[in-house]
Structures are given as structure tokens and as C-alpha cells.
Amino acid sequence: MLSEAPLHPAVDRFLSYIQLERRYSAHTFTAYRQDLHQFFTFLAKEYGQPELNAISHQHIRTWLAGLMAEKQQPRTVNRKISALKSFFKYMVRLGLISQTPMTRVTAPKVSRRLPGFIDEKGMQALEDNRSMRRGQEDASIFTPDLEGHTHRLIFELLYHTGIRLSELIHLQERQVDTGNLSIKVLGKGSKERIIPISRELLAQLQDYTARKRRELENPAADVLIVHPGSGRKLYPKYVYNMVRGYLTRHQITTITRKSPHVLRHTFATHLTNNGADINAIKELLGHSSLAATQVYTHNTIEKLKDVFRQAHPKA
């Protein structure tokens, strides 16, 4: 939590721009706000708060060098650089500065970390554990009450559609197209995309919608999935804790971070491993560039390497 407002009025203007016009996610907005506050605090302390057009690449490099000396992770430093790049680019656009000082700032190299995912065998085991068997559910997995029903549906949606946590909690009932077997998702930057769903998942959505109306007094209007106790809109921590707890209980050891995003990675990796077109996966995930999607091909290559090492006599 910030203890004070950003130190330069231009920062407030930029933050309003990314929040209201660009519609950055709440997570990115908070991170950029903290990064810019930290940078302008540094400028005020070390250089007496220079004017915008007097901020140079030397100021920025000095700040970044200090962060690296504090053992900040390269990914964190790169995010701060992204915040500054966006800020100064907007300042140029407004005509408040003539050129951005970021052109002479180099980001530290970051080792490529492949997304963690659950392999198909492990996912099948989870499918078997959470499925209904002859009309009876395994109470140790998902309880038969509304809470268990909600948890099961959250898990199904994350894996079978690859949507982000933020997209899931904002889903509305009207975004489910029963005729075309699809859901319309509002992603980053308010970009819409259509994701196909199976008849089985559609049936689960319809059963859940009917049940929440029967059992909850006043569930949040239009919201697809609600908190099973209060009927209010879900919040991120609730979903995160549910998924993390579920994956922990099932001792999924192939991943280190047991978060909802792992199910998105698993969705994309399984599509890639089974021959799906990379451009189609890009559209399903809502990526703005193909580079973000291509990381999943590296997971496929790693799988091929494992097969080669285990099966080839000369490996």
C-alpha cells in the first residue's frame, strides 16, 4: 500500500490513462503505480525532483543499478523498465517532453522460464478423481453442496478454456452462448475473444446457474459464478486458495507454483502437444503477440527431448 500520492502530477495523468482508457488489469495498474512512485521518490531524494524534460537516461540507469545492487530479480527490474517506457512514451504523446530517455536504457537479460503445467497423465488422474461416478461424487474431492459444485466448475472452466483468473471472476451469464457452444471473454485491454466449450461444460454451467438461483437468496446479478456463501462476486484470493489447495491435496509434484494460471498453461500446452495451430492457440489465450504464445512450443520440444533420451539408443 502506498503511503502517499505519486510525486509528479504527470504520473496521476498517466495512471488515469492506463486505467480508464487502456484498461490495464488491476494487477498491472498497481505494479506500475508502485514502480513510478518508487522512481520519482528516488529522483526527489537524489536529484531534487528534476523537471520531466530534464530526466535523462543517466538518472534511470542509476536507479536501475541501485535496484540490481539490492538483488532485485531481473524480471522485477524489467517490469519497472516497462512502466517507465510506457510513462515516457505517453509524455511524448502529450507533448510534455520531446523524446523519451528510455531509448538508451537496456533491460537486463532474463533466463527463459518455461511455464509450469500438469502433464496429460496427471490431468487425467485429476479428471478421474473429480468426476461423478454413477451419480455419486467423491466427497473428499468436491462436496455435493453448492460450494463443491462451484469449486468444480471453477476448475473446469480454467482448464477447459484457458481463461485468466481475472477473466473468470468477471464472466457474466450473458457471455455464455448456448446456441454456438462458446463463451465471450473480455480480456486485457478490453479485447473480446470467443472460446468454444464442450456440451458437457455447457450442461455444467446451466446446472450451476439454476442451482445458485434456487439456493442463494440474492446472488449477484448477471455474474456467472458467485461466492457459494454470500452470493457475491468472486474475489481473486478465493479462487487462488481453492485451486492451490486442490492441487496441493492431490500432490501434483510436476509444478512448483500451484496457482490458477497453471491450468491456463496446461490448457495451452496440451493443445500444442496435440498439434493445434499456434495462431489458433494465440487467439484462444488472447495474446497480443505470437511471441507470448510460442513459449508453449518450448514445452513441446522439452517433451520430445525426454522421449528421445529415453528411447533412442544413441541418446
Listed in sequence order, the DSSP H helices in the chain are 9-16, 26-47, 57-69, 74-94, 120-130, 146-161, 165-169, 199-215, 236-249, 260-273, 278-285, 290-311
Taking the C-alpha atoms of residue 250 and residue 246, their distance in angstroms, rounded to an integer, is: 6
Name residue 236's amino acid: P
End-to-end CA distance of the chain: 53
Task: Please answer whether residues 41 and 71 qualify as being in contact, where contact means their C-beta atoms are separated by less than 8 angstroms.
Answer: no
Among 106, 162, 204, 174, residue whose Cα is nearest residue 293: 162
Taking the C-alpha atoms of residue 289 and residue 129, their distance in angstroms, rounded to an integer, is: 36
| 262's grid cell | 497453471
Among 108, 164, 80, 115, residue whose Cα is nearest residue 293: 115
Which residues belong to the active site? 164, 188, 261, 264, 287, 296
Task: Return the SS3 of 285.
Answer: helix
Torsion, Cα of 132, 240, 164, 250 (10° steps)? -40
Number of Cβ within a 10 Å radius of residue 153:
20
Task: Please answer whether residues 183 and 194 qualify as being in contact, where contact means their C-beta atoms are separated by less than 8 angstroms.
Answer: yes
